[in-house]
Chains A and B, each alone.
Chain A
Amino acid sequence: MYDKIFPPKKMLLPNGKIVYEKRSRTPLVLLVLIVATILSANFTNFSFKVLFTQIGQFFVLIGDMIPPKWSYMSTLWSALFATLQMSLLGSMIGAVLALPLAVLASSNIIRNRVVTAVFKVILSLLRTLPTLVTALIATFVFGLGPTAGVVAILLFTLSYVGKLLYEQIENVDMGSFEAMESTGMTRIQAFRYAVFPQVLPGYLSNSLFCFEGNVRYAAILGFVGAGGVGLLINENLGWRDYPRVGMIILALVVTVYLIETISEHFRKKLI
């Protein structure tokens, strides 16, 4: 289509051959990007004037958070641990549940096309729902508190790890699987000894990575009443008690950093 409107450039080579150089798509892409940017800017009332005159407010807020209120740490521990517990439990159960779902969704293990399609759709639908929305729904079903947070994290982990896992299983070298089947193993045995060892390191590493992210998600789930540190952030921001917010954020940053370091260590070992 594009080539018809802007015909390719003709070039005569020294040996008499004619070659065509396709016109670059860059101007078109740039044009679309610029138009979309301007439209979005109008739509969201983006204005540089407001940004430059008001941005000071943002740094005033950050200034209010420094220095953090150290004494608040003593009341923070339980919420911080609840956040960690929520993300740990949700990640562990979710990762374990992802295993059977991923197997059912991989087309080289399950021969039935319908089954694999259904499970793939389930996994991608679960993944599109933002965690906070799942948590909100979960608070209606499981009541306010960390249980709802665990459910939300569980569902997200399930979909994330499940998707990566079935992609891995589908890319596995099937030679050993077939060899084992031909020696008389059942499909389940063959899966256990031929496919499972190949995907295990990747699976564990993905689960750990997901857990890292989940700690961050768990920190905001409190905004919808699903327990953990988010509840305190929301409260203290509401009361404009910024030194306390600063303390919570500092504690979170340190926790997330520690967890990332530990998990990175194990992930490097796995791969």
Chain B
Amino acid sequence: MTTVEKQLRASPRNYRYFLSVSLIVAFLFVWSLWVVNLKDMNQSGFKMALNILKGIVHPDLDLLLSVSKQSVLYLLLETVAIAFLGTIVGAVLSIPLAFLAASNIVPKPVAWLTRLLLILIRTIPALVYGLMFIRVSGMGAFAGVLTVALTSIGMLAKLYVDAIEELDTRVLESMTSIGCTTFEKIRYGIFPQLLSIFMSVTIYRFDMNMREASILGLVGAGGIGAPLIFAMNSYKWNQVGSLLIGLVVLILIIELISNKLRAKLIKG
């Protein structure tokens, strides 16, 4: 037996663990297969798919290029406004929550409770918030802003906490040793460490919020979602096409910008 073969044989093999995990995965797969029901899919389904494709290829150019209140451009602008303002409000509210959830700043029980609250906020689907906020502010974009803000808090605060817990305390210690005041320590010791991470996370969330804001219209909270679902339910596929094209282009552009900005922020 050569050394190579010996090494090969010596590598740890946990077949049993591997086998049991694969068995569980296979079982879950088969169990999930029950949910699929292809009975409803018939000839009309294919025809529908063709119609949708045709609509997307031949979009309603009037809707796409005009500048009235029903046009795609106006709706997209509204969607961006909802996402932007929601992100700003969410980011501002997340900062105190994040400090309250950081276990190196506040006592353990407080941090734990705040984290529980954050998990709760994160799990409730955005559409449920949307329906709840409509009771607060009535139908329209305002409800969308509040919804986006609240759903952003869940994720932003969690990522902010990670950044706060990784603060380099040696910087602060050395600042104390040369006699800095508390304000100076915050301004020159903590602020620079957190700012770029916070900004990068917030920009990423804005990117996500674009998608979120575009579906909120489904429950009447403004943005491009409502016209989209109306067009779909009345089978106006060419309108659907123009709305979808506008949405996809906008999201791609924002993603591109956000990636550029974040790369710049991380490199410094």
Q: Which residues of A does B touch, CB under 8 Å?
A: 33, 36-37, 39-41, 43-47, 50-51, 54-55, 57-58, 61-62, 82, 84-86, 88-89, 92, 124-125, 128-130, 132-133, 136-137, 140-147, 150, 216, 219-220, 223-224, 227, 230, 233, 237, 245, 249, 252-253, 256-257
What residues of chain B lie closer than 8 Å to A43, measured between beta carbons?
77-78, 81, 141
- Top 7 nearest A-B pairs by Cβ distance? A143-B40, A44-B141, A89-B32, A40-B81, A85-B35, A85-B32, A40-B85
Interface size on B, residues (CB 8 A): 62
Q: Is the CB of B35 within 8 A of A227?
A: yes
What residues of chain B lie closer than 8 Å to A61, measured between beta carbons?
132, 135
Q: List 19 A-B contacts (CB under 8 A).
A: A40-B81, A44-B82, A44-B140, A45-B141, A89-B35, A89-B36, A124-B255, A129-B248, A133-B228, A136-B228, A141-B48, A145-B40, A146-B36, A147-B40, A150-B36, A223-B219, A249-B123, A249-B128, A257-B123
Q: Which residues of B does A touch, CB under 8 Å?
A: 25, 28-29, 31-38, 40-41, 45-46, 48-49, 52, 77-78, 80-82, 84-85, 88, 119-120, 123-128, 131-133, 135-137, 140-142, 144-146, 211-212, 214-215, 218-219, 222, 228-229, 232, 244, 247-248, 251-252, 255
How far apart are B223's CB and chain A's nearest CB, in angstroms? 9
With A51-B137, A141-B48 as contacts: A85 and B125 at CB distance below 8 Å: no
Main secondary structure of the interface of A (DSSP, over half): helix
What residues of chain A lie closer than 8 Å to B36, measured between beta carbons?
89, 146-147, 150
Q: Is the CB of B214 within 8 A of A130?
A: yes
What residues of chain B lie closer than 8 Å to A216, measured between beta carbons?
123, 125
With A57-B135, A89-B33, A133-B244 as contacts: A45 and B41 at CB distance below 8 Å: no
Q: A58-B136, A140-B48 are in contact. List 11 more A-B contacts (CB 8 A).
A: A40-B88, A44-B222, A46-B142, A82-B35, A85-B32, A140-B45, A141-B49, A143-B40, A249-B123, A252-B123, A253-B123
Q: Is the CB of A137 within 8 A of B248?
A: no
Of B28, B32, B35, B46, which is in contact with the most chain A CB atoms at under 10 Å from its CB? Answer: B35
